[in-house]
Amino acid sequence: MKTINFGIDLGTTNSLIARYSQGKTEVFKNPVGFKETLPSCVAFRGERIIVGDKAREWVQKDPLNVFSAFKRKMGTGEKYFIPAKLESISAIELSAMVLRELKNFIYSGENPESMVITIPASFDTVQSNATKQAGYQAGFKEVVLLQEPIAASLSFFNNRAQIDQGKWLVYDLGGGTFDAAIIEVVNGEMKVLDHQGDNFLGGVDIDHIMVTELLIPKLIELSGKPDLADHIATRNGPYERLYYILLQKAEECKKELSSQLVSEIDFTFEIPGEAPMDIFMEIPRSEFEILIDPIISNSTGMIAELLERNELESKDISEIILIGGSTLIPLVREKLESEFEIPLNYSVDPTNAVAIGAAYYAGTKMARLEEKTEEQEQGQEIPDAPLLEFKLAYNNSTRDNEEYVKAVILGKNPAVFYRILRQDGGYDSGLKQLKGNDFGEFVSLREQTVNVFHIRFYDENQNEIKTGSNKIEITQGLYSLYGQPLPEDICLEVDDLENNTTICELVFKRNSILPLSKTIYKEISRTIKTGEKDSIIINLLEGDHTTHPNANKIIGVIEIANDKLNGQVVRGSEVEIKIEISESRDVHVNATILFTNQEFSEVFSPTEKYVSISKLKEEIIQLRDEFEIALHKAADDEDFENAQHIMNSISDLDNLQKDALKLRDGDLTDTRYQLEEQKRKIAKHYYNTRGKNTRVQSEMMEYTDSRNAIRNWLDTIDDIPEDLHKRFDKITEKEHDILKSNSYFLIKSQNNALNRLAWRMILKSAHLTTTYFHIYAEKDETEFTNYSLAKKAISRGEKALDRQNFIELSSVLSELMGLSKSSQAEYFIKGTGLG
Ligand code: ADP
Ligand code: MG
């Protein structure tokens, strides 16, 4: 078994490849030109594909056949048209070309099959999957993703002589994305506490705004062409190439302004059908700073938010670690210093820190591919049920040359001997006699690497006893990683029939450490009958669980149409949904409809998110309609506070609409993604503040009522199973924060959790089953959807009660629940079918 060792920083502007070997990292250099960085830029010249510096230079000559900053389009499904080839290409394919080019940097001739590739911390599932896809297309068989701020920190901490404890802030302003992360180090183990970022904030935005706000107005003035602005950012106009030329000029000028107070731009302006014109402009740093101030403030604002959200003050942060080429801009440093008064640390090279960190990580990460083949070679099989179970205690990261490993055998102990072996054979405890149920050993470690050990147990005849996983990994001399956090909440869309809407139910909270796995039980919210077209929808979302599902992104959907079901599924019956997310963000969903005993499963590896301009415009109009209706209602109810909130949302939406209307089909800037993001933010804000006072209040009251009622059951009824007591404690443990949040959706989902628990108690406690059976049995005809079925069920229930068969009674009760009309007999939305 080997470590991966190779890491790639696949940047928006620049990409790098590095290797880890025996405690050291090395950034490979381009065999042509000997630079570490490869511009993430691809040019097409006839049949030739050029990647890197040469491609960048080609922009001046043939901009339409040169592509860059495509990382920002990862996961969008957008295609780039290549005039030279009359074909289109995706951001994934372009990225794969950059990755393949980087492989040529490896002078040793190795051909790694496993690769660590870095992604911004804020990359969502779709973008992460798109990155992996690019890796596979480039020929890697295994791609391990690593978040960039973690990579930068690994390089920062592994380069420091002393061992530090505390909290740091990583500020990474690169070409395309901004990422900020709070990193905590305890005993050599690094952990990301929280992060904040924007996938559309970086150096290329600065270049873009320089072109539109500085260069074009100056150019219009100099050339006397007032229609220039209209033509410039669209394809097929008379000034096709001009935008790209100006972008490159802007970038050069920007870089110069990092070290000079004034920068000059000169170039030849080619006007179709006219004589070319020589253009000369002077840009002072002060003018540049006024222009970019809002962009930089946007980034520092996110840091302020990040600190506040984590209840941290400047004094709690040791240093700000600066990463990314755009941190070379003096204004960035000035603003950070004056706003936070936290010392800035420039000790790592802002351009290669991420690649070096990726290599460090790769040096501690086992290649899975090889692991598999090795096990196959050895013909090992996975034991069905282990005959011996044990627990281990050890530090998985240390600076010492040996580490104490303690083992405790749990339950029955058939072992007489044990043995600890280091994978490379450099350490062997030998066969040792077990005394009692535990033992401890000092194991010796190789320096600056991961040490893999196997712990084995033997019976009195020295035959090995099957155990569960017996492998441990201890990293010597390097900072290890506590794990990578999930960037956003993962939730499930469920029905809220009472309010004729759907809500998010939290599955995994943001910042939970990957990999994650959870099984949840949902109830079917309406009977799914055979015949009429109907389905159960499992919609997995990513975003903020306290908002409306519409304001979140979709990871994947399993739609179970009724014609796939073996018969009808009654309301109130359960669906078991198991959701797993791997460290590299593969999402696996498995749903079992318990009523028909059917299983549906799907792996979500979405690599595309498409923003259609026409759909975006349509959604804005729809949202506006919804806001208007709500506004009228609020005005009728004389709920002026709420009306004010809605009016604010309408005005935000109107501004957005203005920008959206300016977008033409074929627009080639990133504006559509920015506007789509804004739309989601407005929707989120609206759903979070709407009707806050009245609806939140009533939801809170309902919650306290149900909580008190259930607490009373738990105190007075003694046949409620212990696990439901625990479940109640678990649900109510968070109640303080949830009630304080004042979020309707959050309190609503807390209420739902409590209601579901109540029903489980009713069905699991003979006492409650009996009570509720009587309540249902006494309901009259009008309260059931099918009274003859209800009557049959009631008579079966009475017999079950006579025989004291509570299992039967509880199944009758759930049938009656399914047959009873809901208090709101009609509802308008179809919903998901999950309650
Ligand atoms: P990425 O990680 O997105 O590939 P980098 O960290 O390599 O990006 O940073 C590239 C960005 O930094 C580009 O937008 C580039 O224009 C900008 N940049 C590089 N050097 C300077 C400089 N001296 N002053 C200002 N910006 C710079
Ligand atoms: Mg970067």
The per-residue pLDDT for range 661-672, each reduced to its tens digit, is 888 766 666 777
* Number of the ligand closest to the Cα of 12: 1
The residue whose CA has the least distance to atom 26 of ligand 1 is 326
How does residue 182 score in pLDDT terms, banded at 50, 70 and 90? very high
Residue 254 Cβ contacting ligand 1 at under 6 Å: yes
Q: Measured in angstroms, how far is the CA atom of residue 9 from the centroid of ligand 2?
A: 7
Q: Average the pLDDT over each of 69-83, 206-220, 332-346 and give the range with the smallest value.
A: 69-83
From 14, 94, 99, the mutation candidate for ligand 1 (largest count of ligand atoms within 8 A of CB) is: 14
* Number of the ligand closest to the Cα of 206: 1
pLDDT digits (tens, 9 = 90+) for 599-610: 898 887 767 665
Q: Average the pLDDT over each of 65-69, 110-114, 603-607 and give the range with the smallest value.
A: 603-607
The C-alpha atoms of residue 30 and residue 163 are separated, in whole angstroms, by 34
How does residue 781 score in pLDDT terms, banded at 50, 70 and 90? confident
Looking at the predicted structure, is the pLDDT value of residue 15 above 80?
Answer: yes
- 449, 3 in Cβ contact below 8 A? yes
How many Cβ atoms are within 10 Å of 724's Cβ, its own excluded? 18
From 40, 255, 259, the mutation candidate for ligand 1 (largest count of ligand atoms within 8 A of CB) is: 255
258 CA closest ligand 1 atom index: 24
Residue 68 Cβ contacting ligand 1 at under 6 Å: no
- Residues of the chain with pLDDT > 70, as a percent, come to 93
206 CA closest ligand 1 atom index: 14
- Residues of the chain with pLDDT > 90, as a percent, come to 44
Q: Measured in angstroms, how far is the CA atom of residue 203 from the centroid of ligand 1?
A: 6
- As a whole number, mean pLDDT of residues 644-648 equals 87
The confidence score (pLDDT) of residue 118 equals 97
Looking at the predicted structure, is the pLDDT value of residue 270 above 50?
Answer: yes
The C-alpha atoms of residue 477 and residue 542 are separated, in whole angstroms, by 37
Interacting residues of 610 by C-beta distance below 8 A, sequence separation 6+: 76, 77, 78
Run of H or E including 494: strand 489-496
Run of H or E including 740: helix 735-741
Is the omega angle on the peptide bond into residue 217 within 30 degrees of 0, that is, cis? no
- As a whole number, mean pLDDT of residues 391-417 equals 88
Show the beta-strand stretches assigned E in 605-727: none
Rounded to the nearest integer, the mean pLDDT of the chain is 86
Q: Which has the higher per-residue pLDDT, 824 or 546?
A: 546
- As a whole number, mean pLDDT of residues 637-646 equals 83
Angle between helices 766-777 and 787-802 (to 10 degrees): 140
Q: Measured in angstroms, how far is the CA atom of residue 669 from the centroid of ligand 2?
A: 20
The confidence score (pLDDT) of residue 482 equals 75
Q: Which has the higher per-residue pLDDT, 764 or 530?
A: 764
Interacting residues of 348 by C-beta distance below 8 A, sequence separation 6+: 152, 155, 156, 159, 321, 323, 356
* Number of the ligand closest to the Cα of 176: 1
The confidence score (pLDDT) of residue 823 equals 39
Q: Measured in angstroms, how far is the CA atom of residue 325 from the centroid of ligand 2?
A: 8
- As a whole number, mean pLDDT of residues 769-776 equals 90
The C-alpha atoms of residue 182 and residue 193 are separated, in whole angstroms, by 6
Which residues are 471's β-sheet partners? 454
How many Cβ atoms are within 10 Å of 562's Cβ, its own excluded? 18
Which residue type, as a one-letter code, is found at position 699? E
DSSP 464: B
* Number of the ligand closest to the Cα of 149: 2
The confidence score (pLDDT) of residue 444 equals 93
Q: Which of 82-91, 239-248, 668-677 has the highest mean pLDDT?
A: 82-91
Q: Measured in angstroms, how far is the CA atom of residue 341 from the centroid of ligand 2?
A: 25
DSSP 486: P
The C-alpha atoms of residue 171 and residue 817 are separated, in whole angstroms, by 55
Q: Which has the higher per-residue pLDDT, 383 or 731?
A: 731
The C-alpha atoms of residue 470 and residue 38 are separated, in whole angstroms, by 42
Query: Which phi and psi angles does 140 have, rounded to 5°?
Result: -80, 145
Looking at the predicted structure, is the pLDDT value of residue 718 above 70?
Answer: yes
pLDDT digits (tens, 9 = 90+) for 514-523: 889 999 999 8
Residue 149 Cβ contacting ligand 1 at under 6 Å: no
Q: Average the pLDDT over each of 172-176, 586-590, 605-609 and give the range with the smallest value.
A: 605-609
Q: Measured in angstroms, how far is the CA atom of residue 56 from the centroid of ligand 1?
A: 14
The C-alpha atoms of residue 731 and residue 714 are separated, in whole angstroms, by 14
The residue whose CA has the least distance to atom 22 of ligand 1 is 255
- As a whole number, mean pLDDT of residues 617-640 equals 82
Residue 10 Cβ contacting ligand 1 at under 6 Å: no
Q: Measured in angstroms, how far is the CA atom of residue 366 from the centroid of ligand 2?
A: 25
The confidence score (pLDDT) of residue 689 equals 66
How does residue 377 score in pLDDT terms, banded at 50, 70 and 90? very low
How does residue 827 score in pLDDT terms, banded at 50, 70 and 90? very low
- As a whole number, mean pLDDT of residues 302-331 equals 94
15 CA closest ligand 1 atom index: 4
Looking at the predicted structure, is the pLDDT value of residue 686 above 50?
Answer: yes
Q: Measured in angstroms, how far is the CA atom of residue 10 from the centroid of ligand 1?
A: 14
The C-alpha atoms of residue 708 and residue 720 are separated, in whole angstroms, by 16
- As a whole number, mean pLDDT of residues 424-441 equals 90
Q: Which has the higher per-residue pLDDT, 539 or 742?
A: 539
Residue 11 Cβ contacting ligand 1 at under 6 Å: yes
37 CA closest ligand 1 atom index: 7
Looking at the predicted structure, is the pLDDT value of residue 373 above 60?
Answer: no
The confidence score (pLDDT) of residue 824 equals 34
- As a whole number, mean pLDDT of residues 642-659 equals 89
